[in-house]
Amino acid sequence: MDEFPISRVDCRHRCRSALSQGERTLVKSATELGAVAGQYEKWVYPFPIPDLDAPDVRTRRDGGDFERNWYTFWPDRPYREDLDVLVAGCGSNAAARYAFNHRKARVTGIDLSSASLAHEAYLKDKHRLDNLALHHARIEDVSSLAQDFDFIDVSGVLHHLPDPVGGLRALAGVLRPEGTIAVMIYGQWGRTGVYMLQEMSRLLGLGQSEQDVLTVKQTLASLPKRHAIQDYVSRAPDLKSARAPGSLNRKRGPTNATWQSSMEQRATFSGRRTAARSTPAR
């Protein structure tokens, strides 16, 4: 992942007022608990994009990308843009990118990380994304939005939930009957080496302190070239960044099909519940 010259602190400073003025906070107390919340509060994912209009950003596509995948998702329908879209666990950029790339869509982003939402709010403000609403909320509580959606993107999130199937059910509850949900979860085999390192971290009792992160970084740097994690590391440049926390709970953004197909599993489900299709990895 490229480095961007915007720091989380800068972003929060600029975005705090936008978030507090324009966005609703749902079930805040519940979202502030837990290691996952703590991690994404401390280290937003992915690295914040400062400008969605930059040429190198414009060429990247959204995770589920309903425009590109339209006829896979809805083979019997002509393309339209004015969808109600939910980006569940939107992180720092994804909801704003959907809103920026699809101005006629009404996009809602939810996340339990207020730091990530602060950057989404910065992008909303910068690009005047009137079609974007942001909520500090857990997927598990999505019904409290009292909205339903044509398209839901939940990318790199469900595996973090204590009950992923419960989370998927909650999302299904706000999906319209003809709607589609695009799901990306971690791919088991491509992450074999990551699981080894996670197990080591558990055995050593490592947490999220600076010292523990340093220990993980040093361990990574000392592993032999043939260790199972090296394939993952070679495809995860954000792990090598000076700004990277080195946490092995992180996923990196997609850059090529080979990596994506081994590291991630993607599927889409029609709201009609008659079809479950695999989306070709991009």
User: How many residues belong to the site for ligand SAM (CB under 6 A)?
Assistant: 23
Q: Map the footprint of ligand SAM across residues 26-45, applying CB under 6 A.
A: 36, 40, 45
Residue 20's alpha-carbon distances to 48, 118, 135, in angstroms, are 19, 9, 11
**In whole angstroms, how close is the CB of 62 to ligand SAM at the nearest point?**
9
CB of 83 to ligand SAM, least distance (A): 18
Secondary structure (H, E, C), 77-93: CCCCCCCEEEEECCCCC
Question: What are the phi and psi torsion angles at 90 (to 5°)?
Answer: -75, -15
Binding mask 135-154 for ligand SAM (x = CB under 6 A): ---xxx--------------
* Interaction of residue 116 with ligand SAM, rule CB under 6 A: yes
**Minimum distance from CB of 12 to ligand SAM (Å)?**
15
Q: In what order do the strands lie in the sheet with 132-136?
A: 24-25, 132-136, 106-111, 84-88, 149-155, 175-186, 264-270, 276-277
Region from 51-59, 106-114, 128-136, 173-181 binding ligand SAM, contact rule CB under 6 A = 106-114
**Is the CB of residue 88 less than 8 Å from the CB of residue 142?**
yes
Q: Which is nearer to ligand SAM, 106 or 250 (CB)?
A: 250
User: Whole-angstrom Cα distance, residue 235 to residue 91?
Assistant: 20
C-alpha closest to that of 28 among 14, 13, 41, 46: 41
* Cβ neighbours of residue 268 closer than 8 Å, sequence gap 6 or more: 64, 69, 72, 73, 180, 181, 182, 183, 276, 277, 278, 279
Distances from the Cα of 18 to the Cα of 21, 90, 133, 192, angstroms: 5, 17, 11, 41
Contact range with ligand SAM by CB under 6 A, out of 98-106, 155-163, 233-241, 255-263 = 155-163
* Dist. CA 53–CA 26, nearest whole Å: 30
Q: How far is the CB of 226 from ligand SAM (least distance, A)?
A: 28
Strand partners, 169: none
* Strand 149-155 to 132-136 pairing: unpaired
Per DSSP bridges, beta strands 175-186 and 149-155 are parallel
Closest CB to ligand SAM among 64 and 179?
64
One-letter amino acid for residue 118 of the chain? A
Residue 160 contacts ligand SAM per CB under 6 A: yes
157 touches ligand SAM by CB under 6 A: yes
**Least Å from the CB of residue 225 to ligand SAM:** 27
Confirm or reject binding of residue 114 to ligand SAM (CB under 6 A). no
In angstroms, what is the minimal distance from the CB of 155 to ligand SAM? 4
89 near ligand SAM, rule: CB under 6 A: yes
Per-residue mark of binding to ligand SAM, 161-200 (x: CB under 6 A): x---------------------------------------
Nearest residue to ligand SAM, by Cβ distance, number only:
91
Binding site for ligand SAM (CB under 6 A): 36, 40, 45-46, 63, 89-91, 94, 110-113, 116, 138-140, 155-157, 160-161, 251
